């Protein structure tokens, strides 16, 4: 055999070098760079040799040409094979690192907080009875929180022992009742509002008290509103919320802004452990009453012409009953194991 053209050896070195580079290429971009540097039309090192065949001795052309074409085929196949590999390993990032058998990361579904669920439910019942939603600021003045509501500042509720004062006569509202005053100042009767919101008191933090809590205020004012409208509206609400067999009781009470005042209790139909029907104890669900004429006067309404009723309730207490939660603090702790029971998604 005559001596080999040195180009054949060069081609074999290039083949070895290119193959190992191709096998190590991490992604499609790196493979394209390799393709260009070996097989690219202009600067590819194999292409260069093929282009130079014309300058060789006639008897050297066939062996060098054949070897160049063989190496070109081998590299093209290797590029294609590696391309498929990096694509199936999940794209351009670190081929072979991902474990495709791992379970997918769980998607969390949000849910409505149990107290807000109760607020929404209460709101939708009153909305269907023609009420509209109202709101007011959480930072209030003594006028809106107490004085306009017929509550003198020497009343125990206005005491610094019970109310969180900000400065001077500015305070965090201790109930949602100031929304009554703000609404009546702004609009003429007929008024039919529901005002859910936060209220704040200097209270202990225990199973039945929290210094920040949600309240829902209601107010109806018009000509000819009577005690019958008051009782019928609230009894209708209770029966829609707890079921048609629910009994409702109005217990005489006192609030400075209503006269007469009442506490409203309900007795629910329950299914006992042995499957028979029974009744719950009486439970208090709200404070309420006919709007005191002094309040109407304070907002510039004529108490000879207009009458009304008002009520206020704590949806967190209602949520405790509804969902069998023994401690109010659970609603504020945001423990995902508790809250996830109220989502439509899966528990963790």
Q: Which residues bind ligand DAH (CB under 6 A)?
A: 175, 177, 217, 255, 258, 287-289, 310-312
Q: Tell me how far apart the alpha carbons of residues 303 and 260 are, in angstroms, rounded to a whole number.
A: 15
Looking at beta carbons only, is 177 or 307 nearer to ligand DAH?
177
Alpha carbon separation from 275 to 175, 269, 271, 272, 323 (Å, rounded): 40, 12, 6, 5, 19
Looking at beta carbons only, is 227 or 338 nearer to ligand DAH?
227
The 3-class SS string of the chain reads: CCCCCHHHHHHHHHHHHHHHHHHHCCCHHHHHHHHHHHHCCCCCHHHHHHHHHHHCCCCCHHHHHHHHHHHHHHHHHHHHHHHHHHHHCCCCCCCCCCCCCCCCCCCCCCECCHHHHHHHHHHHHHHHCCCEECCCCCEEEHHHHCHHHCCCCCCHHHCCCCCCEEECCEEECCCCCHHHHHHHHHCCCCEEEEEEEEEECCCCCECCECCEEEEEEEEEEECCCCHHHHHHHHHHHHHHHHCCCCEEEEEEEEECCEEEEEEEEEECEEECCCCCEEECCCEEEEEEEEECHHHHHHCCCCCCCCEEEEEEECHHHHHHHHHCCCCCCHHHHCCHHHHHHHECCCCC
Looking at beta carbons only, is 196 or 287 nearer to ligand DAH?
287
Looking at beta carbons only, is 209 or 346 nearer to ligand DAH?
209
- Least distance between ligand DAH and beta carbon 287 (Å): 3
- Least distance between ligand DAH and beta carbon 98 (Å): 57
- Least distance between ligand DAH and beta carbon 303 (Å): 16
Q: Tell me how far apart the alpha carbons of residues 286 and 229 are, in angstroms, rounded to a whole number.
A: 16
Looking at beta carbons only, is 237 or 311 nearer to ligand DAH?
311
Give the residue closest to ligand DAH by C-beta: 312
- Least distance between ligand DAH and beta carbon 110 (Å): 30
Looking at beta carbons only, is 49 or 288 nearer to ligand DAH?
288
- Least distance between ligand DAH and beta carbon 289 (Å): 5
- Least distance between ligand DAH and beta carbon 348 (Å): 37
Looking at beta carbons only, is 67 or 217 nearer to ligand DAH?
217
- Least distance between ligand DAH and beta carbon 342 (Å): 26
- Least distance between ligand DAH and beta carbon 177 (Å): 4
Closest to 179 in 3D by CA, of 214, 145, 131: 145
Beta 132-133 vs 191-200: how paired, if at all?
parallel
Looking at beta carbons only, is 44 or 312 nearer to ligand DAH?
312
- Least distance between ligand DAH and beta carbon 214 (Å): 11
Looking at beta carbons only, is 34 or 194 nearer to ligand DAH?
194
């Amino acid at each position: 055999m005559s001596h080999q053209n040195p180009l054949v050896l060069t081609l074999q070195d290039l083949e070895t070098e290119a193959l190992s580079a191709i096998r190590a290429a991490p992604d499609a971009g790196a493979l394209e760079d390799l393709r260009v540097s070996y097989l690219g039309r202009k600067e590819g090192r194999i292409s260069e040799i093929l282009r130079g065949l014309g300058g060789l001795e006639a008897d050297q052309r066939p062996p060098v040409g054949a070897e160049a074409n063989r190496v070109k085929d081998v590299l093209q196949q290797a590029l294609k094979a590696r391309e498929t590999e990096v694509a199936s390993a999940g794209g351009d990032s670190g081929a072979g690192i991902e474990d495709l058998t791992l379970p997918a990361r769980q998607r969390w579904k949000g849910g409505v907080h149990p107290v807000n669920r109760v607020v929404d439910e209460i709101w939708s019942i009153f909305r269907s009875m023609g009420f509209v939603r109202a709101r007011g600021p959480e930072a209030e003045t003594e006028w809106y929180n107490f004085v306009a509501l017929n509550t003198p500042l020497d009343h125990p509720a206005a005491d610094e022992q019970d109310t969180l004062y900000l400065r001077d006569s500015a305070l965090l509202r201790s109930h949602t009742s100031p929304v009554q005053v703000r609404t009546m100042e702004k609009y003429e009767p007929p008024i039919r509002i529901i005002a859910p919101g936060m209220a704040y008191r200097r209270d202990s933090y225990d199973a039945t008290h929290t210094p920040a809590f949600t309240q829902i205020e209601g107010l109806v004012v018009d000509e000819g509103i009577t005690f019958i409208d008051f009782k019928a509206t609230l009894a209708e609400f209770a029966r829609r919320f707890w079921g048609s067999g629910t009994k409702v009781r109005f217990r005489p009470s006192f609030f400075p802004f209503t006269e007469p005042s009442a506490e409203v209790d309900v007795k629910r139909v329950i299914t006992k452990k042995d499957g028979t029907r029974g009744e719950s104890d009486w439970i208090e669900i709200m404070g309420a009453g006919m709007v005191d004429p002094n309040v109407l006067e304070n907002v510039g309404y004529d108490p000879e012409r207009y009458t009304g009723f008002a009520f206020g309730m704590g949806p967190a207490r209602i949520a405790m009953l509804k969902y069998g939660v023994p401690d109010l603090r659970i609603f504020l702790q945001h423990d995902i194991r508790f809250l996830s029971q109220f989502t439509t998604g899966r528990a963790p």
